[in-house]
Amino acid sequence: MTPVGNRDIRAAREYHDRTAHSYQSVRQSGHVLDWDTKPFLYKVYPDLPVTLLPREFPQPPQDTLEAMATFEGKGATLTLETLASLLFFTAGLTKKKTHPGGGEMHFRAAPSTGALYQTEVYVVAGELPALSAGVYHFSPGDFCLRRLRAGDFRGELGVAAVDERIPTAAATLVLTAIYWRNTWKYQARAYRHLFWDSGTMLANLLATAAGLGIPARLVTFFVDERINRLLALDAEKEVSLELVPLGTSAAPPPAADVSTEPITPRTIPLSSSEVEYPLVRYMHAVSSLVESDELRTVRPSHPGEPRSIPEHLVSLPGPLARAGRSLGETILGRGSTRQFSGQPISAEALSTVLFHATRGIPADFLPAPGRRLVDLYLIVNAVETIPSGAYCYWPEAHGVEMLASGDFRRQAGYLCLEQALGADAGVGIFFLAALGPILERLGNRGYRLANLEAGIIGGRCYLGAYAQGFGASGLTYYDGDVVRFFSPHARGKDALFVTVLGRSVKGVPGIEVPLQIAKP
């Protein structure tokens, strides 16, 4: 594999095709899990100074749906308490479950493939009340920050992202991923998961920020190596994925020319040995931006033409504006549904999820509100008053285009990698994208971003479902078969992610087994 640049888009295509699941590939994979090397779920810096986060912090009180649909923070001040809340509802340890035979499972605020939680969160802060300026790592296990660098590095972030507003934000969260935590189970396909899983966390983070009135937006174009260096990451193993500037700083922006001398803080190894997946590193390298000029050209500068909407869309019932459950309650009560009952959800409930999940993302890769990279296809198994069948959802018109009518439960289960969750759900939402034009526009970086957008919308689907009292799960799938199923409509597109919604057999969403809500 010869290293190539962001503009050589054969690389993303090659990665995508080589990591596609098919009926044959899963049977031929031969991969078995080595439980002796299962990576530890927490990154531990034993030698760094610790700042405990306050355990009394505000819960986002706003109704879940309202928080999901709010994009302008009201200008509330970022304090250590609101920072603690944002970190907890994005990446916090929210539940512990003890297995009957012993052993404990830890669950986090957002769903994550295989509960492997490879996404780490760092804070690059200016001077805040009760927190001195610095670069910190968030440790969800003991709910504290550990300081990697002292001083104000917001200017450096602004330079790395060619973004003048970043230095004026009170702090910026940086989401990173440790490859091995996910490749241990999912091998090279894990690279896709980095964006699905950071996407579900960003769904929580953006809604929590809105709920607390703190301005937040998503920055995805930056010179990768500069951010990795700032965070002192071993970039062969852990890489920066996204930035989220938060709040507005009361103090003047810092100087941009602070030095980021290399530092090598000690960390505890995740497991006794690790397996390398060169394809993952390759995909990251070819979608990295190496200089500011490249970044300026790749960032979308004009909104583009709106799509023409087909005639004969079936209108959905009006979405609810409120679900009656606060965002904090929804996130704490959430847990991926492990078995659906097959019972229907209402058309209004589906309409509400689809509407609120697709109102837009305040992100630099989307040139205008209402633009998106991914398309939502549905297999309706059991939704009251909506005939079972295959559909394409048009967010602009909040209507669905029927592609085929009929009972496709069996096919839905098959497409979701033969998992019963796909067949028993009320509805499956399949995220597809026309990768060709996306890569033409954004280079290989577009591959990251299309997967990320699917993860964010999927994460919002979870929130919308749990807010209304039913369940959800992310699912993986057979790539080519999904596209064939929705073709000819989906011809030329690629399948990126699946989220299924429906009624849990346990009735109460999220509380499927007695769980102890973890006190941070």
Residues lying near ligand FMN in the complex (CB under 6 A) are found at 107, 111-115, 196-197, 200, 335-336, 419, 421, 473-476
Task: Show the 3-state SS of 466-512.
Answer: HHCCCEEEEECCCHHHHHHHCCCCCCCCEEEEEEEEECECCCCCCCC
Identify any residues that bridge with 292 across adjacent strands, giving them in sequence order: none
Residue type, 58: P
Closest approach of ligand FMN to the CB of residue 236, in Å: 24
DSSP 215: -
Which residue, 335 or 428, has its beta carbon nearer to ligand FMN? 335
Q: Indicate if the alpha-carbon torsion angle 58, 59, 64, 68 is positive or negative.
A: positive
Give the nearest distance from C-beta 124 to ligand FMN in angstroms. Answer: 26
Nearer to ligand FMN, 183 or 419 (CB): 419
Residue 178 C-beta: closest distance to ligand FMN, Å? 16
Residue nearest to ligand FMN (CB): 474
Q: How far is the CB of 474 from ligand FMN (least distance, A)?
A: 3
- Kindly state the smallest distance separating residue 36's Cβ from ligand FMN, in Å: 21
Question: Closest Cα partner for 350 from 326, 396, 389, 386?
Answer: 386
Name the minimum Å distance from CB 174 to ligand FMN. Answer: 20
How many residues can be counted in the chain?
520
Helices (DSSP H) in 131-189: which residue ranges? 154-160, 179-186
Query: Of the two residues 117 and 180, which places its CB atom closer to ligand FMN in the complex?
Result: 117
Least spacing, CB of residue 43 vs ligand FMN, in Å: 18
Closest C-alpha among 91, 44, 79, 421 to residue 269 = 44
**Given the complex with ligand FMN, which of 170 and 433 has the nearer CB atom?**
433
Nearer to ligand FMN, 154 or 192 (CB): 192
Closest CA to 373 of 493, 304, 453: 453
Closer of 158 and 474 to ligand FMN (Cβ): 474
Distance (Å) of CA 502 to CA 6, 317, 415, 463, 520: 39, 18, 17, 13, 30
Comparison of 364 and 512: residue with beta carbon closer to ligand FMN: 512
**Which CA distances in Å does 401 have to 191, 225, 462, 487?**
32, 44, 23, 13
